[in-house]
Amino acid sequence: MTLSTSNAVAPIFLVGATATGKSELGLALARRVGGAVLAMDAMQVYRGADIGTGKPSATERAEIPHGGLDLAEFGSGFDVAQYLKHAAEFLREQGAAGRRVIVTGGTGLYFRALTRGLCEAPQGPDELRAELAALSAEQLRERLKRTDPAMLERLDASNPRRLARAIEVMESTGRSLRDWQEETPKPPVREFRAFWIERSKKELQERIARRVKVMFAAGWVEEVRGLVARHGAEALRVFPGIGYREIAEALAKGAAPDSAQGDILVATRQYAKRQLTWFNREPNLQKIMLSGPELPSLDAPFLS
């Protein structure tokens, strides 16, 4: 589905590293234009993973229509094709209602699929997918290095799902995922404005540290306990959202959950660095440098 939009109602993308303040800015813009918000976050699609993924509050979701949230059961599979289908429908519905959509998030693959198209490489056999799911990220990197070394340089080599997908495609089709990507059909969103929200390195690290502390104070540990009770420890071990595995492991060892904060902080900073690397390769992004707690003017450049 390709959305036909005018410049006045074309979606506005606010992308950036975690903790830059893009979600707050997105809500402010949605209020300003009477619009809606589409979350572009691969972890916020999972029900039950709320505090640690930074989902908007119930109050915010009641005030502003939101999409991209709570689309899959925790521990289940969810891929970019499913997100793309949901996002296209949400954009269509909000457009029909006369609402401009503000798309906020830092999942680069979702942004690329929405604005540049989704690769249609087929799914591999269930047996192969199960085999790859049981491998560690290091084992997956070594396997991809043997089967498709050029592809290893094109993706996030720390993300097991991306690694497994590249191996799956190469081993099941005999063609590199790169080749499939080059035959990608037209994207669903053809007209849009996109802004990269940025902070200085020092300020971003400070904001990440504060955010982790706020999440713990908000009940993140209790959230993880509940997920372990409902889905089992293994579901937490393989969940890619930063912090969930670390807290679950601390609980399993009988250690103080707060002891995981250091590892979570390091992992979040590393993730923010990978996001910066990804979006630096994306075309058509206008960089907006923020500083301090105040939001920038909403009229320029976002609505000009």
Confidence (pLDDT) at 2: 45
Confidence (pLDDT) at 245: 95
166-214 pLDDT per residue, tens: 999 999 999 999 888 777 777 889 899 999 999 999 999 999 999 999 9
Segments of the chain scoring below 70 in pLDDT = 1-8
**67/89 Cα distance (integer angstroms):** 10
Confidence (pLDDT) at 183: 77
72-105 pLDDT per residue, tens: 999 898 988 899 999 999 999 999 999 999 999 9
Confidence (pLDDT) at 6: 44
Confidence (pLDDT) at 302: 86
E strand or H helix that includes residue 92 = helix 80-96
Domain with CATH 1.10.20.140 in the chain: 126-182
Burial (Cβ within 10 Å: 0-12, 13-18, ≥19) of residue 21: buried
The residue type found at 63 is: E
Domain with CATH 3.40.50.300 in the chain: 12-118+186-289
The tokens for 133 are 């799911």
Right CATH for 126-182 from 1.10.20.140, 3.90.850.10, 1.10.150.20, 1.25.40.10: 1.10.20.140
Confidence (pLDDT) at 294: 85
Confidence (pLDDT) at 119: 72
Right CATH for 12-118+186-289 from 3.30.43.10, 3.30.1340.10, 1.20.1080.10, 3.40.50.300: 3.40.50.300
Confidence (pLDDT) at 126: 87
The dihedral through the CA atoms of 197, 201, 203, 207 has a sign that is positive
Please give the distance of CA 93 from its chain centroid, rounded to a whole number. Answer: 22
Confidence (pLDDT) at 90: 97
- CB atoms under 10 Å from CB of 205, counted, come to 16
